[in-house]
Structure 1
Amino acid sequence: MANSALEKYPRPGVTVDLAILTVVGATAAIPELRVLIQDRTDPDGRALPGGFVRERTTVAQTTAEVFRRKVGVEFGREVHPRLLRLFDDPNRDSRSWVISAAHAISVREADLTSAHGHLVRVDHDGRLDGESPLQFDHDEIVADAVRELRSRYEFRHRYADTLPDPDGFLDEPFTLHQLRKVHEAVIGERLHKDNFNRRMKPLLDPVLLDGEPVLAESLRGRPAALYRRLTEA
């Protein structure tokens, strides 16, 4: 009786779509925020990596499977998918009624060297640079993912701490200049140098050797102190 009652209700397909974000050239003069985009068929076009949730499979399992099979990268310990929201417009997929559990994933550039797809630059307004509209509602997913990422890198409140590169795009150790450039790449705008340094220094540990600061001498200009993210005791 119960099963026959449930059969009266149509069931949508459920997919997982991944907005994979990275900062390319994190230690370069002008780092860039980028999103992984793939070419696909049936239908033909460009889209985010994604896949359908199979019977008796969880969303988390499907997310890991898409990352491994479609992207070609295994989940590492530092990779943490973040559910953005459900994208459930009944007309989002012309093939069928499909709901997407869209996730954002921040990944270091070095961990995407073997990834399948193209890393497309994100403009300051959160749009993909030079990219035609993506399939389905994937442009909207990208916009949500970028907005959610930027919320962690912006200085929104005077007395609220914004962590130094909270998603870990920048390898340690790093200079304050490199750290600021990564934050600027993510949020898409310039930051005041002195204000940024003042906010970040209490959250950083200077790299010391025999009690003296270690300097990054290989960089252009005056040698700069190296830092690591502050670790709790």
Structure 2
Amino acid sequence: MSTLTLPPQATPAGLAVDIAAFAMHQGELQVLLVERGTLPHARTWALPGGFVQLNEELHEAALRELRTETTVELEPRLLEQFYTFGAVDRDPRGRIVSVAHMAVLPHGTVSVTGGGNTLGAGWFPAHQPPPLAFDHAEILAHAIERLQVRLEYANLALEFLPETFTLPELQGVHEAILNRKLDKRNFRKRLLAQGVLATSGERRSGVGRPAQLYRRAGRLRLVGNL
């Protein structure tokens, strides 16, 4: 049996994954960051990530790095590849190509600590992050754009909420991702007309009239601008 080899013009390159992991905290879209403990960019905030092992699938590498560097043990509600970053000078250590992943962590994922070679981990406002290492500001911007696009055709907003929720909470997720206010009446009218939500039969008590709770009834599809 002949042995296949790379052609001589093939350039060695490192393969990595970076993960933009999001959650809603106190009505704000937040992203999970780690403080790097090693060079380059030591003591700088960055997206969780690292190199892919030889016999490892990309999504496996993304989950491993997320769990190792942030001690998050819960399974993401969503984990998907969304872009590949391969600029020649994106990493001072050499030619490294990163397959970026977007993740939505379950509702209530708040407590995180740094693991592996990181000095710490924490949640930060996704639209106003601190200075980030490498090209991670660009990766984060692309990830937010991906979130915004998916609001238009998928049930992405529901992945940020518990099993039952109020319409103001659902609208709050949309506004947090889009980073702008939406018209309340227009939002509710168009959403309820699509039949993708069902009442849970329960109400949440609080200040004023108890709020009706809803649950997922199908795929959410928002078309056009709100």
State the Cα RMSD in Å.
2.2
Q: What is the CA deviation profile of residues 117-140 of structure 1, one whole-angstrom value per residue up to 9, with x for unaligned ones?
A: 1111023xxxx24x12x1111000
Residue 179 of structure 1, aligned match among 170, 173, 182: 170
Q: Which stretch shows the higher mean deviation, 108-117 or 136-145?
A: 108-117
Change over 3 Å in CA distance of 1:230–1:164 after alignment to 2: farther
Deviation at 1:33, TM superposition (A): 0.4
The answer to whether 1:226 aligns with 2:190 is: no
User: Is this contact kept in 2: 1:84–1:102, CA < 8 A?
Assistant: yes
- Separation in 1, partners of 2:178, 2:214: 22
Deviation at 1:79, TM superposition (A): 3.1
The answer to whether 1:58 aligns with 2:51 is: no
Q: What is the CA deviation profile of residues 83-122 of structure 1, one whole-angstrom value per residue up to 9, with x for unaligned ones?
A: 1111000100011111001111011342342353111102
Change over 3 Å in CA distance of 1:148–1:164 after alignment to 2: closer
- Separation in 2, partners of 1:222, 1:139: 43
Q: Which amino acid aligns with 1:121?
A: P
User: Is this contact kept in 2: 1:23–1:108, CA < 8 A?
Assistant: no
- Separation in 2, partners of 1:144, 1:150: 10
User: Is this contact kept in 1: 2:203–2:211, CA < 8 A?
Assistant: yes
Q: What is the CA deviation profile of residues 164-218 of structure 1, one whole-angstrom value per residue up to 9, with x for unaligned ones?
A: 724x11113211112111211111111111111112222211122xxxxx3222x
Describe the SS at the equivalent of 1:6. coil
TM-score, normalising length: structure 2: 0.82
Describe the SS at the equivalent of 2:207. coil
Describe the SS at the equivalent of 2:168. helix
The aligned counterpart of 2:34 is 38
Change over 3 Å in CA distance of 1:194–1:95 after alignment to 2: same
Q: Which amino acid aligns with 1:122?
A: A
Q: Which stretch shows the higher mean deviation, 41-50 or 14-23?
A: 41-50
The aligned counterpart of 1:88 is 86
User: Is this contact kept in 2: 1:64–1:75, CA < 8 A?
Assistant: no
Task: Please show how residues 1-233 of structure 1 align to structure 2 within 5 Å.
Answer: 6=7, 8-25=9-26, 31-40=27-36, 41-43=38-40, 44=42, 45-74=44-73, 76=75, 79-116=77-114, 117-123=121-127, 128-129=128-129, 131-132=130-131, 134-154=132-152, 163=155, 165-166=157-158, 168-201=159-192, 202-208=195-201, 214-217=202-205, 219-231=206-218
- Separation in 1, partners of 2:23, 2:145: 14
Change over 3 Å in CA distance of 1:4–1:190 after alignment to 2: closer
Gaps of 5+ in 1: 26-30, 155-160, 209-213
- Separation in 2, partners of 1:188, 1:180: 12
- Separation in 2, partners of 1:98, 1:122: 25
Q: Which amino acid aligns with 2:175?
A: E
* Identity within the alignment, %: 31
TM-score, normalising length: structure 1: 0.80
Q: Which amino acid aligns with 1:165?
A: A
How many pairs does the alignment contain? 207
